[in-house]
Chains A and B, each alone.
Chain A
Amino acid sequence: MAIYGTALLCICVIAGMIVGKFLGALLHLDPKVNVGGVGFAMLLLICLTDWLRRRGAMRPPTEAGILFWSSIYIPVVVAMAASQDVRSAVTGGPAAILAGVLSVLCCLALVPVISRMGRTDDSLD
């Protein structure tokens, strides 16, 4: 049933968030901060679905319960964009705009540099 997949996904998200909050608390961060919760949830989901698949317990309807949420991802991002505080960003003044723009440009320029660095210990592909 599709609910099994959705429940599995939700359990992974909750578990990841708990780990992220716990890590934040360990590091004495603000309780609002979640250190890599989404990342842990993803790794957990990858491992669990892989294990279930190998045991043959991952039926197509179960998988559909996860894939639906994955396929609704772009519309969710559009909704996220529509609920951003764009007015504050635009009216934040030149210092805010310049700080944002320059930090994006500097980081973008470094993407190929670091990407190439990772390649040295890798066979040609």
Chain B
Amino acid sequence: MSDSLKSVFVDYSLVTAFAVIGLTVGFSYFLSHRLTRGRLHGSAIAIMLGLLMAYFGGMETHGKKGIADLPIFAGIGLMGGNMIRDLAIVATSMGVHLGEIRKTGLGGVVSLLVGVFVPFIVGAGVARAFGYTDAVSMTTIGAGAATFIVGPVTGTALGASSDIIALSVAAGLVKAILVMIGTPFIAKSIGLNNPRTALIFGGLMGTTSGVAGGLAATDPKLVPYGAMTATFHTGLGCLLGPSVMYFLIRQVA
């Protein structure tokens, strides 16, 4: 690619991002209609294409931001970064009914607690099975299984080694990606078709990016409900991880 052409994409990176993502979404809806007759939602295909792009970007640059590490696609990192993502999530709350949130009440709180507790136990168990038998490593990997932010925060607080922290981030990423891709497929079998279940789903799964992507591909009307509880999950995990969960896991390690 000639340098002057490249510099247009680099200088107008956010504009390039909107164009590239728009084309990707359009292509995905085309595939959805033609290949699956709309059975696999266009946005689900778009998210998978996005993840595929991220994989190839990562292979190319060995960076941490997927396709956004390539200079001409840097704008995608800004467009899909925390700032714009949170702005868009908050905007979706225009369609929220307060009554639904009030009705969920206790279930939402329980889902948050269970959603933090279960991944820690599962993650710590897996860590132990793979030979990481000290409480700090077990807790850190368990924290990563909660979300990829809770992992490094807990690991840093407990003084875990950097390879364990990297492992915990990887566990959290696997979770986020699996939730993004898998949610539309299992939504029916777990009754995920109403605001109440979406609120509980958000609290249990926690990963904001996973929940946001998964619900968008299932039914965009459910996004604000799931996102609202998911956003409390990370904070709760960071609070309980280096304290309660560490003490609990130390008892059994």
Point out residues on A near B: beta carbons under 8 Å. 9-10, 12-13, 16-17, 20, 23-24, 27, 29-30, 32-39, 41-43, 45-46, 49, 63, 66-70, 72-104, 106-108, 110-112, 114-115, 117-118, 121-122
Contact = CB atoms under 8 A, between A and B. Distances in A.
B80 A82 contact: yes
B114 A114 contact: yes
A41 B83 CA distance: 13
A107 B103 CA distance: 22
A49 to B, nearest CB: 7
A110 B118 contact: yes
Contacts of A97: 170-171, 174
Contacts of A82: 21, 24, 50-51, 53-54, 57, 66-68, 73, 76, 80
A104 B89 contact: no
B127 A83 contact: no
Interface string B11-22: 000000110011
At the interface, is chain B mostly helix, strand, loop or mixed? helix
Contact of A92 (B77, B174, B178, B179): B174
Contacts of A78: 21, 24-25, 43, 46-47, 49-50, 80
A33 B51 contact: no
Contact of A46 (B96, B105, B204): B96
A70 B88 CA distance: 5
A111 B201 contact: yes
B8 interface: no
A29 to B, nearest CB: 5
Interface string B37-65: 00000010011111101110111001011
Interface string B144-185: 111001000100110000000011111111111111101000
Contact of A74 (B96, B176, B186, B220): B220
Nearest to A102: B122
Given A86-B51, A118-B196, A106 B234 contact: no
B51 A70 contact: no
B80 A81 contact: yes
A41 B94 CA distance: 12
A99 B87 CA distance: 31
B200 A114 contact: yes
A51 to B, nearest CB: 12
Given A77-B80, A104-B178, A115-B196, A90 B55 contact: yes
A73 to B, nearest CB: 4
A87 B167 contact: no
B111 A92 contact: no
Interface in B104-140: 104-108, 110-111, 114-115, 118-119, 122-123, 126-127, 130, 132
A45 B57 CA distance: 36
B58 A73 contact: no
B54 A76 contact: no
Contacts of B201: 111
A67 B94 contact: yes
A86 B58 contact: yes
A34 B235 contact: yes
Contact of B170 (A67, A93, A118): A93
A23 B232 CA distance: 11
B72 interface: no
B246 to A, nearest CB: 14
Given A88-B170, A94-B130, A103-B119, A115 B238 contact: no
Contacts of A88: 58, 64, 166, 169-170, 173
